[in-house]
Amino acid sequence: MRLYQLNDNNVAFPPVSAALTEPNGLLALGGDLQPNRLINAYSNGIFPWFSEGDPLMWWSPDPRAIIKLADLHVNRTLRKAIKKSPYKVTVNSAFEQVIKQCANAPFRSDETWILPEMEAAYINLHQLGFAHSIEVWQTNNDDALSPKEELVGGLYGIAINGFFSGESMFYSKPNASKFALVAISKLLSSVNVDFIDCQLLNPFLADMGASEVTRDDFINLKNKAIDIAIDKDFWHPREVNLSE
């Protein structure tokens, strides 16, 4: 099967059914990371993913990893941690810091796909109101007169109305990324969104309740989520209380 080649003059994509089975989900090459193309991609269940030195690649894997928010696994240890409230959690208060931390996460064993051009593209989407972050902060009280908050975890993703596609997360303190995931789930549940797109399954996501669905089932879920209108003020920067 011939792989579809994108160009700079047309932001359209081929149907996701045209994606390859090997490598799983590779749909197209080329194009650019301009906002209109990225928004069109996510609206159709497609995302970019490539490493340094590779061409720009676009994917729609089958199966697709999602978390049904009703199935989010908050174990006893995490529930106790949330009750103790060791962290402050915010939304859209430090997007650029979060994406940079995700790109340079010390626990990541492989090379990052969050290259400088990806950072710039998603920061642009954030400024346009389509990319959002959750931040997890820990207060450093070493200086009693001037305590400082340290960013110790977070995640970011793309939202098209009620459809949220998680891109990456990081942590530098225990449970910090789990706090971020619980926070985004709480926020989305409050506006009747019932799942998060996780793109590809990994052990961490599986432990938190993620599962795989067929591409067709994912597209149906995605289309229903996009039909959920979200108030423009929903993503305004604020603190998220997890203990309520």
Tell me if domain 4-62 and domain 65-239 are identical in fold: no
Low-confidence ranges of the chain (pLDDT < 70): 1, 105-112, 141-147
Helix (H, G, I), strand (E, B) or coil at 160: strand
Whether the CB-CB separation of 3 and 86 falls below 8 Å is answered with: no
The model's pTM is 0.94
Q: What is the DSSP letter of 10?
A: B
C-alpha distances (whole Å) from 172 to each of 92, 150, 154, 181, 198 are 19, 10, 10, 15, 21
Q: How many CA atoms lie within 13 A of 10 on its CB side?
A: 7
Each domain of the chain, given as residue ranges in start order, spans: 4-62, 65-239
What distance lies between CA 229 and its chain's CA centroid?
19
What distance lies between CA 177 and its chain's CA centroid?
12
As a whole number of Å, the CA-based R_g of the chain is 18
Helix (H, G, I), strand (E, B) or coil at 2: coil
Nearest to 137 by CA among 123, 148, 149, 155: 149
Helix (H, G, I), strand (E, B) or coil at 158: strand
Specify the length of the chain in residues: 244
Nearest to 19 by CA among 220, 225, 219: 219
Q: Which fold has domain 4-62?
A: Alpha-Beta Plaits (3.30.70)
Is the domain covering 65-239 a CATH 3.40.630.70 domain?
yes
Across the beta sheet with 148-160, what order do the strands follow?
211-213, 64-68, 195-199, 163-171, 148-160, 131-140, 88-91, 238-239
Nearest to 173 by CA among 137, 132, 202, 147: 137
Neighbours of 44 (CB within 10 A): 21
Q: Where are the beta strands (DSSP E) in 25-180?
A: 26-30, 47-48, 57-59, 64-68, 88-91, 131-140, 148-160, 163-171
